Amino acid sequence: MATTDRELAELTHHKAPHKLDLFKGVKKLPLEEYFTSGHRTCQGCESALVMKLMVKAAGPRTIVLGSTGCMYVANTTYYSTSWVVPWMHTQLGSSGAAALGAAAALKALMRKGKFKDEPINVIAFCGDGGGADMGISGISATLTHPDYNCLILMYDNESYANTDIQLSGSTPYGAHTTFSPPGKTKRIMHHRWKKNFAAMMAAGHPTCKYVATVCMSYPVHAMNAVRKGLSIGGPTFIHSLDPCPKGWDYDPMLSHELGELAVLTGTWPLYEVENGVVKLIGKTRDIADGRVKRLPVRDYLLKQGRFAHFTDDDIDYFQSKVDEMWNKWVVPGVIPFQKHLDEDRPPA
Amino acid sequence: MGRLYAVEIVYRGIFQKNLAKNISRAIVLAAHKEGKPGISFGRYGDSPERNGIPAKAFAIVATDEQTLEEGMAKYEPTQVDVSICVDDTLFKGVESWAWYGLQPINKLVKPGGTLIVTSLEEPAALAEMAHRKEAPYQLAVIKAQPSFSGLWVYKDDHTDVRILGAIARVCPELFSLASVQEVIRKDTKDELKATSALRSFERVTTYEVQPTQGNPEEPYKFEMPKWHEMRDGIAIPSIAPGHKMKDPITGTEGGFQPARNPTFKKYATRTMRPVVDFDKCIKCTLCWLACPDSCFDVTPENLYDANLEACCGCGVCEAVCPEPNCVTMVNETHFSDNSSQWQAYRKDAEGYKANLASLIATRPERSHGFRFRGQYEEQVPAIIQAAEAEQQKQTQA
Amino acid sequence: MAEAIITPHVEEPKKKAPAQGDETSLITGSEAIAVACQLADVDVITAYPIRPYDTVMQYVAKLVANGEMDCEYIVAEGEHSQFEIVKHASACGARVFTGSSGVGWMYAMECLTVTPSLRIPMIAMVGNRALDDPKIPSRAKVDAFLPRYDRKDLLLHPDNPITVAPQANEDWLMEIRRGTAAAMERSAGVIREAYADFERIFGRKYGNPFFEEYMTDDADVVLVGMGTLSNPVRVAIRQMREEGKKVGFVRLRWFRPFPAEELAKSLGRFKAVGVIDRDFSLGSPYHSGVVATEVRTALYQSENRPQVVGFICGLGGREVTLPDVRKMSEIVSQAASGKPQPATQWIGLRE
């Protein structure tokens, strides 16, 4: 007879996750802050907003582990901090390991009666450099461990932003970074397409019960994703797209608007994969259902200095790749499998 | 030993990174034309820069190599002949992201030295905004709106060359106008920029600041503990949970005020500040929710009061507020303190509102970098023209 | 050789009757370490395959599978994660164990650069090759010896909200390093106390915790080494003693803190010293191994400075043979008799 989930849970002494109710709207959000003022981030830093809303959703019984990046260097510059909840640094590629270590410790200590048995959330975050580049093996390993309750959140500002904007595996095609400057003979130095990281995590880890993409321009969904990730049990993953005024080169006032544009142009689809079921969220669902027309990517790209060198051909190519996500992918906007192959023709 | 010249450029991180680099580089090149060796560098502790957070670049020049080496023997000069401030709101103080406390803008200006600033404010008002200094120094004002752009697309509005022209005027022994014009021509192949440097050379206004002038406040400081006073394990206490707020009139308690990082305040990052029309607030929560700096205190009646010690002036609150003129970013130079707007409103709603109306009416056009491709190309001719006109007006006056 | 060891050194078995409650068994050193983890009630263990370290984890896995050990046994996806997992588990209050061998340590090294300053106890073994018959102490004795792991105000827990390891810039790093250095300075005293407690509770005496001496009382020359060397060295020394050669052996137990003063004082008694390194540090002073460099440094301040000859041998797990040891002793004796010797010599090399 096959082992049931419940039997498996007993065998591994599985610990019940923290049950957190979903928020019903902005007016129902708690007033308390667990990540507060005095961090040393840029004006209009959307990743700092991720930190704030992530712990606002998780609440005070939370341990946060942060890997190297802006959200480490700028938020926690020794002798000061902006964290109300306990926080600890982990190495650049180690968000997966950190989440696992903390969750394992709590599980062992509570089981052995050394600590009071109570729900404590474990969240480890990483940037796109620490996650999609260097941290992928650790995150992937953690997502295969069904018996540890933890959430890994990747805040993706699409570059190594702390070290002055070098391209990462998450930087969009063609973007200007200090490692991909448009030059006299090469207009486009960065020819790689952004990793489809959340879907990769969802598709490749059957033990991971919850994966979501979020954007803080849609804060209630983002906070509920954090709550679902912490409540469902086992390791979970959230990928947040964070407009970055420094690296994307725009007026910091527009952080919120650029997040909206990323979603409304279909460049950044919001979805969640819960127990293997894919669900498009909010405006992304409206786009998929035809209730809202996708905006042209031009509206998004030309508001950012990092794409100021784009020609019309470059913009058209970018548009064609986004169109492909929506028109050709077997699961539109999510999984890049197609039924037949078209030739890829990037502009010269 | 020969003569050493030190110049600092105090600027807004990222927004003015390229501007500061252009200036410090041209200083060294112009001095080099006159046989003076030099070096230009950014302050190590400011890297990586953050949008808006004050940063510094230096140009060190000497009459000979050996003197230059003496000048380079320390990370950062303790005194400068010329300080250049490319945004007048920095006159309120400079808090770098990497260290602790607020430095007066004129801290390094040596007695009798010059502080050059781009501003639309009057020199006397600027002198009052800066911290008081024991010895007199000179202000040199270039009438212009501070120039902001971003990391990749530079707004070439001649601010750099205008400052270079002004340096030639206030510190001719460092380099002459002819030398710096030569550098500008070679670098930019743009005769108009060489002319802009000349105009600024001719028209920069100077003003003597006396020890009686300026903000008498002791700037916020932080004493660094000794090694044995620090907690083991690189651990520091978290920020305390927050508390309820108290209405100054009724004494009612409610809402929420988060506790905040006591050693980094971030207000020196701000060039515009949000003002809130509490009567227009529909309590949608969006400013409070979207603020990356958690700067909004929630009052007992669920209004949102921007805490001005914590606000870095990004403007996201104004952008997300659905009500026109409810949250508005206004000119930071019009304020001399960081007190609570809500308390002022509770104590005198009419007075508060009257002041608010005038602040909104006189707010400057926002200039915080890239908004759309082609924007700078559209703006620059008008900016250059306006700066010309302002300077001309100044000369005539 | 390994005797319930949780530090990366090995011990000689004591030939006396087991104390009450202890049990003698014939197990490998690796198995002994697994049993030590069990007795120490380790909470979180991480495993990753690399020879010979992984043999310990194979035993741990059996203990866990058989319900003989209650811990979180995590198979990591690489050494870097192995070390980060236990670092964070320890920060959260768990007693932890991990380890690696060879290049695995190199891959983990980034994590190890930060852990000491965080004051996070982490037992990590360096797997070498060793085999012997240790006595396994009773659980009660182990509990009496090991204090409860209590991080006090350094515990990462919602009841103790702290920020750990924020980014430290040039304004702070020296002070932080100085604090860590002070802890390391104190550690020599802690090590002595722990050895005294160990002797009191388990009835086993090791003498000087930092290095042991074998047949040095009347020795003219000594060999110095650490780790898995002592077996062939001792046998060779006994053979040479029978031939009338006054050779002794000094085996280091602790590399950090390095017992510089005490070791210099001891080595100053001999006419010449040969240092056997089973490692090699490219481009180091005199192209030596790391122990020779440390020994020379320790001796520099000493009044009596015998000539030091460095030997590189047994790299990559190659056997250090009795003839090898005899050859090294011979070279050191030559040095003692005034014949200059090259500062570093490779032994057991095909040449």
Question: What are the pLDDT tens digits along chain C (351 aa)?
Answer: 233 222 333 343 443 434 556 778 888 888 999 999 999 999 999 999 998 888 999 999 999 999 999 999 999 999 999 999 999 999 999 999 999 988 899 999 999 888 989 999 999 998 875 445 567 899 999 999 998 999 999 999 999 999 999 999 889 999 999 999 999 999 999 999 999 999 999 999 999 999 999 999 999 999 999 987 878 899 999 999 999 999 999 999 999 999 999 999 999 999 999 999 999 999 999 999 999 999 999 999 999 999 999 999 999 889 999 999 999 999 999 999 999 999 999 999 999
Q: What pLDDT, on the 0 to 100 scale, is given for residue C25?
A: 80
Asked, for residue A305, whether it belongs to a domain, the answer is yes
Nearest CA in chain B to C159: B238
Nearest CA in chain B to A306: B152
Interface confidence (ipTM) of the complex: 0.95
Asked, for residue A279, whether it belongs to a domain, the answer is yes
Q: State both tokens at A303.
A: 């508001």
Asked, for residue B280, whether it belongs to a domain, the answer is yes
Q: Residue B383's beta-bridge partner residues?
A: none
Q: Does B298 touch chain A (CB under 8 A)?
A: yes
Do B134 and B258 share a structural domain?
no
Q: How many CB pairs under 8 A join A and B?
A: 210
Q: Does A95 touch chain C (CB under 8 A)?
A: no
Asked, for residue A343, whether it belongs to a domain, the answer is no
Do B283 and B142 share a structural domain?
no
Q: Do A305 and B151 touch (CB under 8 A)?
A: yes
Asked, for residue B371, whether it belongs to a domain, the answer is no
Rounded-to-integer distance, Cα C335 and Cα C344, Å = 12
Q: State both tokens at C60.
A: 């741990």
Do B243 and B205 share a structural domain?
no
Cβ A228 vs Cβ A254: under 8 Å: no
Find chain C residues with C-beta within 8 A of A90's C-beta.
84, 87-88
Rounded to 10 deg, the angle between the C230-242 and C322-336 helix axes is 60
List the one residue out of B50, B313, B243, C164 whose CA is nearest residue A83.
Answer: C164
Rounded-to-integer distance, Cα B244 and Cα A300, Å = 41
Q: Residue A243's beta-bridge partner residues?
A: none
Q: Do A115 and C93 touch (CB under 8 A)?
A: yes
Do B170 and B37 share a structural domain?
yes
Residues B348-360: tens digit of each pLDDT? 999 999 999 999 9
Select the residue of C92, C160, C165 nearest A102 (Cβ to Cβ). C92
Asked, for residue B20, whether it belongs to a domain, the answer is yes
Outline where chain C has alpha helix (H): 29-39, 53-65, 79-91, 103-114, 139-145, 173-202, 230-242, 260-267, 290-300, 322-336
Q: What pLDDT, on the 0 to 100 scale, is given for residue B393?
A: 76
Burial of B44 (0-12, 13-18, 19+ CB in 10 A): exposed
For residue A77, the enclosing domain spans 5-335
Q: How many CB pairs under 8 A join A and C?
A: 152
Q: Provide the pairing of β-strand A121-127 with A150-156.
A: parallel
CA distance A3 to chain B (A): 44
Helix, strand, coil share of chain A (percent; to 5): 35, 15, 45
Q: Does C338 touch chain B (CB under 8 A)?
A: no
In 10 A of CB B42, how many CB atoms? 18
Please report, as a single letter, which amino acid is at residue A193.
W
The angle at the Cα of A249, spanning A247 to A254, to the nearest 5 degrees, equals 110
B268: left (phi > 0), else alpha (psi -120 to 50), else beta?
Answer: alpha
Per-residue pLDDT of chain A (348 residues; tens, 9 = 90+): 455 666 655 655 567 788 899 999 999 999 999 999 999 999 999 999 999 999 999 999 999 999 999 999 989 999 899 999 999 999 999 999 999 999 999 999 999 999 999 999 999 999 999 999 999 999 999 999 999 999 999 999 999 999 999 999 999 999 999 999 999 999 999 999 999 999 999 999 999 999 999 999 999 999 999 999 999 999 999 999 999 999 999 999 999 999 999 999 999 999 999 999 999 999 999 999 999 999 999 999 999 999 999 999 999 999 999 999 999 998 889 988 888 877 888 887
Chains that touch B (3 or more CB pairs under 8 A): A, C
**Interface residue of C115, C163, C171 to substitute, partner A, most A CBs within 10 Å:** C163
Do B253 and B179 share a structural domain?
no
Sheet of strand B243-246: strand arrangement: B243-246, B253-257, B296-298, B304-306
Here the CATH number for the domain that contains residue B316 is: 3.30.70
* Residue C259 preceded by cis peptide, ω within 30: no
CATH architecture, domain C211-346: 3-Layer(aba) Sandwich (3.40)
Q: Does B268 touch chain A (CB under 8 A)?
A: no
Whether B337 has a pLDDT exceeding 60, the answer reads yes
Residues C151-188: tens digit of each pLDDT? 999 999 999 999 999 999 889 999 999 999 999 999 99
Do B190 and B81 share a structural domain?
yes
Here the CATH number for the domain that contains residue A235 is: 3.40.50.970
Q: Does B2 touch chain C (CB under 8 A)?
A: no
Asked, for residue A25, whether it belongs to a domain, the answer is yes
Residues B281-325: tens digit of each pLDDT? 999 999 999 999 999 999 999 999 999 999 999 999 999 999 999
Query: Into how many domains does chain A fold?
Result: 1
Do B249 and B202 share a structural domain?
no
Which B positions 332-351 lie with beta carbon below 8 A of chain A? none
Select the residue of A60, A94, A104 nearest C74 (Cβ to Cβ). A104
Cβ A33 vs Cβ B258: under 8 Å: yes
Q: Using DSSP, how many helices (H) and how many strands (E) does chain A show?
A: 12, 10
Q: Do B227 and C170 touch (CB under 8 A)?
A: no
Q: Do C175 and B44 touch (CB under 8 A)?
A: no
Find chain A residues with C-beta within 8 A of B44's C-beta.
none
Find chain A residues with C-beta within 8 A of B52's C-beta.
42-43, 252
Q: List Cα–Cα distances, B135 to A323, B79, B128, B342, C5, in angstroms.
A: 66, 13, 15, 39, 69
Asked, for residue B389, whether it belongs to a domain, the answer is no
pLDDT above 90 coverage of chain B, percent: 87
Please report, as a single letter, which amino acid is at residue C92.
C
List the one residue out of B190, B342, B207 whose CA is nearest residue B279.
Answer: B342
Asked, for residue A341, whether it belongs to a domain, the answer is no
Q: What pLDDT, on the 0 to 100 scale, is given for residue C135?
A: 79
Rounded-to-integer distance, Cα B329 and Cα B306, Å = 11
Rounded-to-integer distance, Cα A314 and Cα A318, Å = 6
Q: Do A86 and C90 touch (CB under 8 A)?
A: no
Q: Does C118 touch chain B (CB under 8 A)?
A: yes
Residues B81-95: tens digit of each pLDDT? 999 999 999 999 999
Find chain B residues with C-beta within 8 A of A85's C-beta.
238
Q: Does B47 touch chain A (CB under 8 A)?
A: yes
For residue B109, the enclosing domain spans 4-209
Query: Into how many domains does chain B fold?
Result: 2
Q: Residue C163's beta-bridge partner residues?
A: A87, B236
DSSP string over B31-89:
HHHTT--EEEEE-GGGPSP-TTSEEEEEEEEESSHHHHHHHTTSSS-S-EEEEEESSGG
Q: State both tokens at C234.
A: 């001792």
Nearest CA in chain A to B154: A305
* Residue whose token pair is 């919001």: A270
Asked, for residue A344, whether it belongs to a domain, the answer is no
Asked, for residue A346, whether it belongs to a domain, the answer is no
Q: What pLDDT, on the 0 to 100 scale, is given for residue B73?
A: 80
Q: List Cα–Cα distances, B210 to B107, B130, B134, C243, in angstroms.
A: 14, 12, 8, 93
Please report, as a single letter, which amino acid is at residue C25.
S
Asked, for residue A348, whether it belongs to a domain, the answer is no
**Fold match between C23-202 and C211-346?**
yes
Q: Do C168 and B234 touch (CB under 8 A)?
A: yes
List the one residue out of A295, A293, A284 whose CA is nearest residue A331.
Answer: A284
Q: What pLDDT, on the 0 to 100 scale, is given for residue C7?
A: 30
CA distance A306 to chain C (A): 28
Q: How many CB pairs under 8 A join B and C?
A: 57
Here the CATH number for the domain that contains residue B141 is: 3.40.920.10
Rounded-to-integer distance, Cα C82 and Cα C73, Å = 11
Nearest CA in chain A to B238: A84
Q: Do A94 and C111 touch (CB under 8 A)?
A: yes
**Interface residue of B293, B301, B368, B375 to substitute, partner A, most A CBs within 10 Å:** B293
Asked, for residue B32, whether it belongs to a domain, the answer is yes
Do B188 and B248 share a structural domain?
no
Q: Give the global pTM.
A: 0.94
Stretch among A57-61, B21-25, B43-47, B112-116 having the lowest mean pLDDT: B43-47
Q: What pLDDT, on the 0 to 100 scale, is given for residue A17?
A: 81
Whether B222 has a pLDDT exceeding 90, the answer reads no
Residues A89-103: tens digit of each pLDDT? 999 999 999 999 999
Asked, for residue B229, whether it belongs to a domain, the answer is no
- Report the largest interatomic distance among the alpha carbons of chain B, rounded to a whole angstrom: 71
Cβ C279 vs Cβ C244: under 8 Å: no
Cβ A201 vs Cβ B187: under 8 Å: no
Select the residue of B241, B242, B265 nearest A38 (Cβ to Cβ). B265
Q: Do B53 and A42 touch (CB under 8 A)?
A: yes
Domain at C23-202, CATH class = alpha beta
DSSP letter (8 states) at residue A177: B
* Residue whose token pair is 């008799």: C337
List the one residue out of A265, A346, A266, A267 whose CA is nearest residue A313.
Answer: A346
Q: Does B316 touch chain A (CB under 8 A)?
A: yes
Select the residue of A87, A98, A108 nearest C84 (Cβ to Cβ). A98
Burial of A3 (0-12, 13-18, 19+ CB in 10 A): exposed
Domain extents in chain C: 23-202, 211-346
Find chain B residues with C-beta within 8 A of A306's C-beta.
152
Select the residue of B100, B225, B235 nearest C154 (Cβ to Cβ). B235
Nearest CA in chain B to A260: B320
Find chain A residues with C-beta within 8 A of C176's C-beta.
78
